[in-house]
Structure 1
Amino acid sequence: MARGKGTARSCSLCLGWSVLTARACSGCEKFARAHPVRGTCPRCQHDAHLGSDGLCKPCLQAIRAEDDAEWALGIPEAGPRALQLTVGTHRHYATQANPIVLSRSGGRGVSAGWKRRLNRQRAMERNQPAVLEPQVWGQLPLFALPRTLTRDTARALAGRRLSGWDRAETVLLTLTAERRMSKAWRCWVAEMVRLALALREADGAELTCERLLRELPKSGDVVCVVLLGAGLLVSESVSDLRLASRSCGDCHAWMPERSHAGFRCGSCREWRMSRHRQPGQCVRCGGDGLALSAGHCRACHPYRDDSRSTPAATQLVIDLPVGPIDPADAGLPPQAGKYLPAPEDVTPATTLGAGQDALFTMRRDWSPVLARLQGRLWADLPLTEAATALVDDFAAQRRDQEGTGSNKNIRTLTILGYWLGVENAFHERDVHDLAGLDTHLAAKPVCQFLRARGMLVDDPGLHQDRDLAWIGRVLATLPQPVAEEVGAWVQALRGQGPRENEPRSWEGIRRYLSTLRPVLTAWTATGMTTLREVTADHIQDTLDGLEGTVRRQRATALRSLFRALKRERLVFRDLVRHLPVGDLTGIPRPVPSDVLAGLLDQATTPFARLSIALAAIHAVPSAEIRTALTADLNLARGTLELRRGLRRHTLYLEELTYSLAADWLTYRHQRWPTSTNPHLLVTQKTAPDPDYPAVHRITMQKVLPKGQTLDRLRQDRILDEAFTTGDPLKLIRLFGITEQTAMRYVAAAYPERTARLPR
């Protein structure tokens, strides 16, 4: 049959069957005129006109119709596909031709194969590094950098548990049913919703900000509707958007929230509004499109070093507002003291990165944290596996402790592990600040446990000597010249003056300063600005009306102060050089016999009985009883060695003290078998303490009835021995006291042997 006008034939280019008037259909002719370049199509391997993507028109049509997604993904094992048969009519373009529908069985097979290949590809994508990792919950971001999000980013989130997805999925299913949308549409929107929730966790925000949805690759409006219905989105107007925290577009300085009105800081806006309006590239930092002055932008204008061959790095700058800040403009919550509750399914411990350093070391306020956790049991807080193991290990070490103290320590570590995580080290200041807000929390044992694990950053301010800290607070209350002069006196007492001398302890210096504190306060209250203005009348008025030990202590402190100031050449003359100090007044008083007889019977613990025996029988001072070491007690030889500076004094224990010491060692071993405290006397707090503290002096006072002290028992024992022997040498050998102390007790026992009689 001869071919003529209107004869049905296949197109020579696309092979589509149609009624043609030429060798090619009208669609292929139009495509050939638009793309005159011919070549071999990589998909169908035919010689044809190729488009901008390197494919012929039928292959481009097949890909656009999404009937060949397997080849479009570029899977290597997918070979060339055969063209589908298309049918067209006269004057109909090939782009309007419809592909022949495959059978259902073939469609299921193609769909199953496509799903298998897609699952393999997603499995390979899961092995790639994680994206949009969660950050610290509730922490404000320092920089709001734009993100580039694609569908591959959404696929990388497959399998991740996202907070709020359950509520969002329910709203999405309802929306799909109401709008009668397809399953493919629902899957696409679900990917975008999960991507928006991942952005919310990446910023550490409780509610997704509407401006974050602008970063989604598609369907931002539908995602906004879904998140609003789930209660996971906070609406944001354009006026609020311009006040969000961001960095300056020119100098990259960080602008806090509500401290700016645009994308540039105030300094850069003024720079552009002035005569510097010529945009260009800075010769120092290499920034392009910046307003320049002499080739430098505003940030680089102070630097005039142009010798660098490479662009110079700029420092981090924070653009803070000038003048007083209104709390409403600073982005503070409108109702102070009320905090949004943290979602139940969010664990802040999972948001910290191991080894991440803090940019700003600011002191935390733990009151909002305790307010959030109010009403929740500390044992039910969700912890990570590492935090749970750490808390269990700490509980196992504190298992031998009785009472409620152990629960305080475990509760504190649980809150720290829940809120901060255990990936990074804890700051000692945070532990003490948290424990200081609630009486049911403790800090010291937790810090000791973390320090032993190498997980604590020590705060030097918390390890300062208590007496030294008290001296610093007192000096801060004095005027500057007087504080400097008193500080020079303190340094001289510590052996740091022009003359070398034995340094005094901070405890002794505190006793001196506590005696002089009312004097210095009274002098400065009258307008005295320096101790050079002190006269002899001031000294005399200070000592008038005082007598006994109080006058002696104040006079001794005044002589020490002005002697040191004269040596430092801070005063012209020493006004108290010849000031009489006086001797100790009064004589030791004995303890009544009826009170002394029942002390051991009233003591109910081995701790109290041993303390009373050492003071009442061997005249050991209470300070030496507290600091006695277990290694110095030798039950085999029946001796106890006391350390007094460089000297040693040995006590030979009689039968009663020996039995009391043996009973105490047995009780201590049974009560605290793992204690490593070297002191002989320990308590429930000092026994497990790795700092090895001595027993507190208040604890030593509680072993006796009210009105009695261990020092009074010691004085009664020395006085009784002085009455018995009257020999000061025997007192020195027996009790290890000095010559002056021995003579004082002998004089109290036999006043007729002295030249002066008591009044």
Structure 2
Amino acid sequence: MCLKWSVLHGRRICPGCERWKYDHPQRGVCPRCRHEAHLGRDGFCKPCLQAIRAEDDAEWALRVPGVRPRALQLTVGSYRHYAIRARPIVESQSSERWVSAAWKTKLNRQHAVEQDHSALLEPQMWGQLPLFTMARTLTRDTGRALATRPLSGWDRAEAVLLELTARWGMGRDWRSQVTEMVRIALALREADGVELTCEQLLRSLPRLGDVVCEVLLGAGLVVSGSALELRLASRSCGDCGAWMAEGTSAGFLCDPCREWRRCRHYQPGQCARCGRDGLALGAGHCRACHPYRTDGQTMLVGQQLAIDLPARPDGPNHAPPTGAPVPDPADTPASTLGPGQEELFTMRRDWSPVLARLSGLALADVPLSEAATALVEDFAELRRDLTETGLRKNVRTLTFLVYWLGVANAVHERDIYDLAQLDGHLAAKPVCQFLRTRGLLIDDPALHRDRDLVWLERVLATLPPDVADEVRAWADVLRTQGPRQDEPRSWESIRSYLTHLRPVLTAWTQAGMTSLREATADHLQDALDALDGAARRQLAITLRSLFRVLKREKLVFRDLARGLPVGDLTGIPRPVPSDVLAGLLDRATTAFARLAIALAAVHAVPASEIRTALAADLNLARGTLVLRRGMRRHTLYLEEFTHRLAADWLTYRHRRWPTSVNPHLLVTQKTALDPDHPAVGRITMQLNLVLPKGQTLDKLRQDRILDEAFATGDPLKLMRLFGITEDTAMRYVTTAYPERTAKLPR
């Protein structure tokens, strides 16, 4: 009711307002706040009556014509305020309205304070920084109030004003108007407590701010430019919008616009090109649009941002001649910018004109500076181990970049990729890596995101908002970003889950489902009945994980997949035919392929671990290879055959790529010298291995474990030899000897 901050203890209104409603049951419209409320004897509601007395609103109490009531303030106070217990404001005597004389005394005191102009722009302590800054509203009444106040610096400003009046031949009325504005500016200087005021403050003057700035600059009371350095101030010309440098022009007009007004006798009008009104015109155009006219016609193009620089030693800066040919932007490289100059606007470049111009030239014919030529030669020397095709693509890309952008400033990574996408004979990644090592690259975070995460966000964008939020919450929990810590999963693993779940979610949403809270047990069972085998098992595992997380995060009402049967693996490991294994190593012609086949077919190493094995974990002196499996380590003891293949591979790698610092054991032509040190990709692994059709490294691994299971039948030996779990070992033993694990009938 009263909007007061208070401890209500479960009440809807404060106790003071409850008491007020009990004492004043009559309701009506308050004449002050215009709200319907319980009115007192004076006809006001409780907040208004309290505001009138607490704030001494004498003008409203006396009903002065044309006076608005003061605004209510948010208060924190006691419930028993004196304002609601005091005697009424208005007392009736016979049939006339009578107001207490104390309110008339308060009104006279307020008027006396208003007539005292000492509080107007009151001087502050010199050099003291203001805690709060507020915008001021200055009028001519402010100047009249300051007419008799002594102001610091007025003697110097008056001397400059008299000199300007005599030089320009102005009259007494003009001088009196300027005097009034100058005194306001000096009062602003004292109110801010600064020795030298800023030109920005003079913009708040009612008028003649340009002349006042000229006067104060002559008196040395305004911050001016340094003689040692030309700095750009945060102001622009009022007519042409050019940036003005400190010390080059006084006021809010640049020197060319000031001269333009003087020559054109300042005939204000509306420009036919930019449409601005109130500017001095010449042939229907303002000074900024005048150079852009051609043959009397207006060019419908934008206006270039200009900077008002000092005049050249050989004369003033003249505007470009009318009708001069406009140079093609593709003919002027962007490298003509000054070194270290920051960009005013950042926009994605269109490299098509540049590429069309340079595509027909040989690399030796592209004009480069000495610094750019040296950079390209260093890059070519660093990439000399690549084939001729890859080297030319990389050198070609860097040549185009340094020709157009130069080598003085850093290059945006997005520009390199945009250029490489236009031509298949250009490469982006090696150039980015080289420029990053030289400190000439500005990285783009959007290009370094995980590709599986990007795929996940692209899939979620196709789902309804509620379903996408629920799936995203599930993915965050799998990534250990939820309130409870679980075993972290990679984005690759989450993508594998969502790959099996995506067709089901798409079918549900197309049927009209907007949230997973609408799903039922029948939806889950119908999705599983449509599949069989390994696909059904993977979908059941994904659904159980999804609804378990959503129930724990309280996003669904109950876990529908809690009792969902997952089932066991129905497939059994199958051996590889002996004739295929016989000539497998004979068909492998590279040391890379022979070592990978030996690790999979002899030591049963998974293909993913072969790709990520580290060269530092291979010890030829001891004949061991350590495999990293999370927090666990598994040591392989190499026999003579695998030991010789590993030594041959290390010898070839050192001779082929002597400067490679990639920590992985197996590298290729692209990964050996890649500064990011990536592992060999799955597709590259299959291309380098000459395996028979239908055979993979994982199938060779299964054949090796199954052969050992036939030979020993001991699951503990399989676990120690290959580092597999007990469930996997029992699965292979059961396949080799099904009679040992068969259940006898009762």
TM-score range, shorter chain: 0.5 to 0.7
Q: Secondary structure at the match of 2:485?
A: coil
Does structure 2 conserve the Cα–Cα contact (< 8 Å) formed by 1:352 and 1:423? no
Once the two structures are superposed, the pairs formed by residues 245-324 of structure 1 within 5 Å of their partners are 245=303
Q: Is the 8 A contact 2:412 2:441 kept in 1?
A: yes
2:386 match: secondary structure = coil
Q: How does 1:89-238 map to 2 (within 5 A)?
A: 145=242, 236-238=294-296
1:389 aligned to 374, 378, 381, which one? 374
Choose from 678, 685, 697 the match for 1:693: 678
Aligned partner letter, 1:744: R
Shift of 1:357: 1.5
The whole-number CA distance in structure 2 between the counterparts of 1:238 and 1:246 is: 20
Equivalent residue for 2:451? 466
Offset, 1:145: 4.1
Is 2:652 the partner of 1:675?
Answer: no
Q: For 1:404, what is the secondary structure of its paired residue?
A: helix
The alpha carbon displacement at 1:598 in A equals 0.4
Distance 1:243 1:610 in 2: 66
The CA deviation string for residues 670-717 of structure 1, in whole angstroms up to 9 with x for no partner, is 100000001110000000001110011112222023321000000000
Deviation above 3 Å: which 4+ runs of structure 1?
Answer: 143-148, 241-244, 339-343
Secondary structure of 2:452's counterpart equals: helix
The aligned counterpart of 1:442 is: 427
Question: Shift of residue 646 of structure 1?
Answer: 1.3
- Structure 2 CA distance for aligned equivalents of residues 247 and 665 of structure 1: 61
**Counterpart Cα distance in 2 of 1:234 and 1:673:** 62
One-letter code aligned to 2:717? K
Identity %: 71
Q: Which whole-Å deviations, capped at 9, do the CAs of 1:101-151 have from their partners, x for residues lacking one?
A: xxxxxxxxxxxxxxxxxxxxxxxxxxxx9x9xxxxxxxxxxx884999xxx
Per the alignment, residue 401 of structure 1 pairs with: 386
2:529 to 536, 539, 544: 544
AA partner of residue 245 (structure 1)? Q
Pairing partner for 1:576 from 561, 564, 575:
561
In the other structure, the counterpart of 2:547 is 562
1:714 aligns with 701
Q: Which amino acid aligns with 1:448?
A: Q
2:482 maps to what in 1? 497
Mapped contact 2:618–2:624 kept (Cα < 8 A): yes
SS of residue in 2 equivalent to 1:742: helix
| Length-normalised TM-score, structure 1 | 0.56
Query: Matches of residues 646-665 of structure 1 in structure 2 within 5 Å?
Result: 646-665=631-650
After superposition, the Cα gap between the structure-2 partners of 1:517 and 1:630, relative to the gap in structure 1 and judged at 3 Å, is: same
CA pair 579-369 structure 1, distance change in 2 beyond 3 A: same
Find the residue that maps to 1:584 and give its secondary structure: coil
Partner Cα distance (1:469, 1:534) in 2: 27
Q: 1:733 to 1:392 in 2, by over 3 A?
A: same
Could you tell me which residue of structure 2 aligns to residue 734 of structure 1? Answer: 721
SS in 1 for 2:560: coil
2:297 counterpart (219, 239, 247): 239
CA separation of 1:240 and 1:671: change in aligned 2, threshold 3 A: same
How far apart, CA to CA, are the structure 2 residues paired with 1:600 and 1:456?
45
Q: CA deviation at 1:652?
A: 0.9
- Does the CA contact (< 8 Å) of 1:412 and 1:442 recur in 2? yes
Could you tell me which runs of 5 or more consecutive residues in structure 1 were left unpaired when the two chains were aligned: 1-128, 132-142, 149-210, 221-232, 253-338
| Partner residue, 2:498 | 513
Rounded Cα–Cα distance in structure 2 between residues aligned with 1:657 and 1:242: 76
Q: CA deviation at 1:756?
A: 5.6
1:144, 1:246 within 8 Å by CA — same for their partners in 2? no
Conserved 8 A contact 2:330-2:353: no
**1:440, distance to aligned residue in structure 2 (A):** 0.5
The unaligned stretches of length 5 or more in structure 2 are 1-227, 231-239, 246-282, 309-326
Distance 1:146 1:242, change over 3 A: farther
Residue of structure 2 equivalent to 1:525: 510
Residue 612 (structure 2) pairs with residue 627 (structure 1): yes
Aligned residues: 451
1:234 and 1:399 mapped to 2: Cα distance? 52
**Structure 1 stretch displaced more, 373-382 or 641-650:** 373-382
1:715-742 deviation digits (Å, cap 9, x = unpaired) = 0000000000001111011111110000
CA contact (8 A) 1:628 1:679 kept: yes
Q: CA deviation digits over 1:296-320, x for unaligned, max 9?
A: xxxxxxxxxxxxxxxxxxxxxxxxx
Contact 1:347–1:382 (CA under 8 A) maintained in structure 2: no
- Partner-residue secondary structure (3-state), 1:615: helix
Among 458, 470, 474, which residue is 1:485 paired with?
Answer: 470
1:747 to 734, 737, 740: 734
For 2:481, the aligned partner's letter is Q
* Structure 1 residue aligned with 2:351: 366
CA distance in 1: counterparts of 2:601 and 2:743, whole angstroms: 30
1:159 is matched with none
Change over 3 Å in CA distance of 1:747–1:342 after alignment to 2: same
Quick one: distance in 2 between partners of 1:382 and 1:240? 37
Residue 608 (structure 1) aligned to one of 569, 589, 593: 593
Match of 1:47 in 2: none
Whether the 8 Å contact between 1:341 and 1:372 is mirrored in structure 2 is no
Q: Deviations over 1:76-101 (max 9, x none)?
A: xxxxxxxxxxxxxxxxxxxxxxxxxx
Measured against aligned partners, the alpha-carbon deviations of 1:197-216 in whole angstroms (never above 9, x if no partner) come to: xxxxxxxxxxxxxx9xx99x
Residue 643 of structure 1 is matched in structure 2 by 628
Q: Which residue of 2 aligns with 1:585?
A: 570
Q: Shift of residue 495 of structure 1?
A: 1.4
SS in structure 2 of the partner of residue 641 of structure 1: strand
Rate the CA distance shift 1:668–1:413 in 2: closer, same or farther, 3 A. same
2:361 counterpart residue number:
376
Q: CA deviation at 1:246?
A: 5.7
Equivalent AA in structure 2 for residue 239 of structure 1: Q
Aligned Cα root-mean-square deviation (Å): 3.1
Q: Would you say 1:433 and 2:418 are equivalent positions?
A: yes
